[in-house]
Amino acid sequence: MNVAKIRYPELAAPNETIYTGSQWGEHTKEYYTSVNMRFRSIAKRYNMPVRIPYAFFKDLLSENDLVVVLLENIDCLFRLQGKASSFG
């Protein structure tokens, strides 16, 4: 963040609002929820899939990797609906 403050001082205040001291550097939950809801409404408006369809990757992944991808997709779908997810 220090480099960003030096190079882009005009972005310092907005970034400090969404990065509120997390030791891992992630955004606030409210920011993620806001972005997910906006993405969901745009995808719905333009009839876009929100995740890569299963048919594209089902024959490319091992069984273990397929389980991981499917759980990640479930997690994403919960979050796009503003719901809590036990997957991530």
Question: How many whole angstroms separate alpha carbon 34 and alpha carbon 73?
Answer: 19
pLDDT tens across 2-52, in order?
777 788 888 777 777 777 767 777 778 888 888 888 998 999 999 998 888
- Is the whole-model pTM more than 0.85? no
DSSP string of 18-73? H--S-TT-PPPHHHHHHHHHHHHHHHHHTT--SS--HHHHTTTS-HHHHHHHHHHH
**Which pLDDT band, with edges at 50, 70 and 90, does 76 fall under?**
confident
HSE-CB at 67 with a 13 A cutoff on CA atoms is 2
* DSSP label of 82: T
